[in-house]
Amino acid sequence: MFESIARTLFLLVSKSRLLKRAVSRYGTRGPHSFARRFIGGETFDELIATLHTLSHQGFSHTLNHLGEHVTSRDAAHTASADYLDTVDRVGLAGLPCKISVKLSQIGLETDRGLCVENLRQIVTAAKRHGGFVRIDMEGSALIDQTLEIFERVWADGHRNVGVVLQSYLYRTSADLERVLNLGARVRLVKGAYNEHPDIAYPLKADVDAAFVHLSHRLLREGTTPAFATHDPQMITAIRAFARDHGIGNEAFEFQMLYGVRRDLQMALLADGYAVRIYVPFGLEWFPYFMRRLAERPANVGFVIKSVLYEQRGS
């Protein structure tokens, strides 16, 4: 009951232009502001500075230009153009060009053909800079279309493209088999959308068990798999399996959100693991942040705990 009310509240807040304007005036002001902690920057100059800092610390990165679920062809064109600009500017800055794209952001729900063409352009542009494009997975209603478009671009001969799979869905084991048969790269996440128990595990213990099982398959059969989690238990399970099966640290990577459990990020890096930071950036940080909380209201506590862990030095 509480989660339903909280989810509705966060979604309403995310659409409030008045609140967005008010909060945006102060939310990212200064390097220690709350929003700035979790967003790589509103401008390209801020973003480039953030990426240089991460690189200097030893982290790799993947970029997400904020925005999703566009409702017009013009908005899809604009989002695609923003990504093309991002690819070129990051590449020209001499930084690795790795980006994550939601297909709903570049036209999936408006014009599928346009979405495919936009994705092809982004993947081609990234390739010019030696870059890689990860297709983020969205709610269950878009999974089949997302996988079909991914396979279509893969069939064009593009190999600098990968996809995300979510352990909380019953279908993911079959989806993983489908992607492994291609030899494509997978980022494994738990999943945060509000899905019905008919299609997703309702209990955290079952989601965790599925994550561990799928991670084992990826470590055995995958191509440089990425495990996106801040859960110490999941990380411990992955490390133990890799160690017990003679799988080197260079064969996989951990991925974490910018600003979340920075202490854990540094600890993994110090232990010799590859750690990639998912860096959202752009002006749409307020609706992005509210939607993340709406997808899983427990994220409020998660963010607070993340800050407290670091302050306590855990």
Where in the sequence numbering do the catalytic residues fall?
Answer: 136, 187
Q: Is the dihedral of CA 184, 254, 92, 287 positive or negative?
A: positive
> Both tokens of residue 253?
């990577």
- The angle, 0 to 180 degrees and rounded to 10, between the axes of the packed helices 17-24 and 285-295 is 120
DSSP bridge pairs for 279: 63
> Both tokens of residue 75?
């908005």
Tally of CA atoms within 13 A in the half-sphere of 295 that contains its CB: 13
**Are 272 and 49 spatial neighbours (Cβ–Cβ below 8 Å)?**
no
Distance, CA of 298 to CA of 294 (rounded, Å): 9
**Are 290 and 11 spatial neighbours (Cβ–Cβ below 8 Å)?**
yes
Residue type, 264: L
112: phi then psi, degrees, rounded to nearest 5: -60, -40
